[in-house]
Copies of this chain bind each other. A is one copy, B any other.
Amino acid sequence: MLLSGKRVLIVGGDARQLEIARTLVERDALVYLAGYANLHAPLAGTQLIDWTPEGLGRFHAVILPAKGIGEDGTVDSLFNPRPIVMNDAHFRALFGAVLYTGIAGAYLRERAARFGLPLVVLFDRDDVAILNAVPTAEGAIMFAIQHTDITLHQSHTAVVGFGRVGMTLAPRLKALGSNVTVFARQSEALARAYEMGLIAYDIGELKRRIGDADAVFNTVPAPVVTAEVIAAMKPSAFILDLASHPGGTDFHFAEKRGIRAMLAPSLPGLVAPKTAGRILADVLTKLIGAQQHENGERSR
């Protein structure tokens, strides 16, 4: 799909943005970068612009960082000496564009609504979340190998939650020779885990069945790895919480108990920025392309 003539502004971000920019340029979009003062080498086919409300031209699409923008309007950029700020004047100047972000907090949602800018939250999409689950699972495997003194092979592991991440991680752990137990609430999830040859229990069994786990991977963004559950774990267990901030683990109790526990969100950008960027680039190409189509229909 070609994006010829589409004017796209990328504001801040990390290594994923480079992959997005490259892909959009390949698709013939006109790509502008704001907050890239430190970029080592110019990105072929892109143009650097100043982040001033007056200087902003008209764009079809504005791509914000995967992690969204801060609640004070700051936009982090790996390629700028300091974060830039997106204030009301910027939102007003961008009227006519669709905003794309990975995650959206209250600040961004409120202003997008107030200034009449359609907001697309990419990580809320099922396709993006499923594709992102792959680097997340690989990152979890990397951390488990790194932070335990045993092999995953012949270990006992627990995967809490069997949604997009759990369903991606559990079979991989099994393939590496771990004895995996899945804990989930919904009967379809338990059925799917069973179908995949995994041992599966209702999440209510967690406390009773966690005792032999060497590593526990939580994917549920709610307090499920509670003090009671942690108290039932062996002292050498390792907890990796993959749920979005603040995770589902009682980290305070884990520390008190001397059980190692880590919150590791945003693994895709950390362990596979290029793949994670390509995932976003592909869906953005589709969405901006569809946007073009819509505009075309509207102008008829």
* CB-defined contacts of A135 to chain B, threshold 8 Å: 151, 153
Assembly CA distance A273 to B145 (angstroms):
11
Do residues A139 and B145 form an inter-chain contact, with CB atoms below 8 A? yes
Which stretch of A170-178, A179-187, A281-289 is in the interface?
A: A170-178
Assembly CA distance A273 to B148 (angstroms):
9
Contact of A153 among B134, B146, B153, B274 (CB under 8 A): B134
Q: A146-B271, A148-B272, A271-B145 are in contact. Are A153 and B138 (CB under 8 A)?
A: yes
Q: Mark A8-28, 1 if CB is under 8 A from B, else 0.
A: 000000010000000000000
Q: What's the minimum C-beta distance from A195 to chain B, rounded to whole angstroms?
A: 18
Is A291 engaged at the interface, CB distance under 8 Å to the other chain? no
Q: Mark A260-275, 1 if CB is under 8 A from B, else 0.
A: 0000000000011111
Is A152 engaged at the interface, CB distance under 8 Å to the other chain? yes
Q: What's the minimum C-beta distance from A168 to chain B, rounded to whole angstroms?
A: 9
Do residues B151 and A142 form an inter-chain contact, with CB atoms below 8 A? no
* CB-defined contacts of A142 to chain B, threshold 8 Å: 141-142, 145-146
